[in-house]
């Protein structure tokens, strides 16, 4: 689905020597002294221009309002709307995943950033552009689902014949009970034999 291409290293949207630097998330700051700058734009193939992302997003729509803050700081805030197609973890059907959120970020010159301060990004005052890649990438990581299901009650695939159980029933008998559960049931009834084995194989220090 997604081309196997190494994502660009995070924090280097313009790799040196690149003939066509990705400028997908750069906003020019000309006119900022006259008032806030508002932009709305789409980043296609964000995995190539924003750095490594949690899902193979096809695009990210970004809305941003940029204004001057105290001192040499610049405040950016807005919304983002991204979409990816990912396999359902149960039935493997391609499933649309949307991430929509509001976001905010503060930019300061590198010398004025307190280590450990969250939501603050370095601003190269000479560049004349604001790079939104960092905060946008961070929001996508924070808001992307850890797993994807096509529906909350997706029945998945039959473990025996592999049909999609949402589409058709199969005649397979119910799966054998898991051997691990059978072992646990044994623990409950006769503790003697089980504890012997446990003392050999598992010592407390081995359990993380
Ligand atoms: Zn599914
Ligand atoms: Zn089956």
> How far apart are the CA of 151 and the centre of ligand 1, in A?
6
- Global pTM reads 0.69
> How far apart are the CA of 158 and the centre of ligand 2, in A?
5
- Would you say residue 139 lies in a domain? yes
Residue of 146, 141, 121 lying closest to 60 (CA atoms): 141
* Structural domain containing residue 43: 26-143
User: Helix 191-201 vs helix 179-189: angle between axes, to the nearest 10 degrees?
Assistant: 120
List, as ranges, residues with CB under 5 A of the ion ligand 2: 158, 160-161, 170, 172
d(C-alpha 142, C-alpha 105), whole Å: 14
The count of other CB atoms within 10 Å of the CB of residue 52 is 12
What's residue 189's pLDDT? 52
d(C-alpha 80, C-alpha 10), whole Å: 19
What's residue 194's pLDDT? 42
> How far apart are the CA of 161 and the centre of ligand 2, in A?
4
> How far apart are the CA of 153 and the centre of ligand 2, in A?
18
Number of domains in the chain: 1
- Would you say residue 57 lies in a domain? yes
What are the pLDDT tens digits along the chain (208 aa)?
Answer: 444 444 444 444 444 443 344 568 999 999 998 999 999 999 999 998 899 999 999 999 999 999 999 878 999 999 999 999 999 999 999 999 999 999 999 999 888 888 888 889 988 767 789 999 999 999 999 999 999 999 999 999 999 999 999 999 898 987 677 777 777 766 655 444 444 444 444 444 444 4
Helix (H) or strand (E) holding 57: strand 57-68
- Would you say residue 152 lies in a domain? no
- Would you say residue 128 lies in a domain? yes
Length of the chain: 208
The count of other CB atoms within 10 Å of the CB of residue 156 is 15
- Would you say residue 11 lies in a domain? no
What's residue 178's pLDDT? 72
- Would you say residue 208 lies in a domain? no
- Would you say residue 12 lies in a domain? no
What's residue 79's pLDDT? 98
- Would you say residue 174 lies in a domain? no
């Amino acid at each position: 689905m997604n081309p196997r291409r190494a994502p660009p290293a995070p924090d280097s949207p313009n790799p040196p020597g690149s003939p066509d630097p990705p400028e997908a998330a750069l906003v020019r700051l000309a006119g900022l002294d006259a008032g806030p700058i508002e932009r709305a734009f789409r980043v296609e193939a964000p995995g190539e221009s924003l750095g490594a992302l949690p899902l193979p997003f096809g695009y990210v729509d970004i809305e941003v309002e940029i204004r001057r803050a105290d001192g040499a700081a610049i405040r950016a805030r807005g919304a983002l709307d991204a979409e990816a197609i990912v396999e359902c973890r149960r039935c493997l059907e391609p499933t649309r995943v949307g991430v929509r959120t509001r976001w905010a970020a503060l930019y300061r010159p590198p010398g004025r950033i307190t280590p450990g301060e969250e939501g603050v990004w370095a601003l190269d005052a000479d560049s004349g552009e604001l790079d939104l890649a960092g905060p946008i990438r961070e929001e996508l990581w924070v808001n992307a689902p850890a797993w994807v299901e096509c529906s909350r009650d997706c029945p998945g695939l039959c473990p025996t014949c592999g049909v999609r159980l949402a589409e058709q029933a199969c005649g397979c008998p119910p799966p054998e009970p898991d051997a691990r559960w059978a072992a646990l049931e044994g623990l409950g009834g006769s503790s003697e034999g089980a504890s012997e084995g446990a003392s050999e194989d598992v010592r407390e220090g081995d359990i993380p």
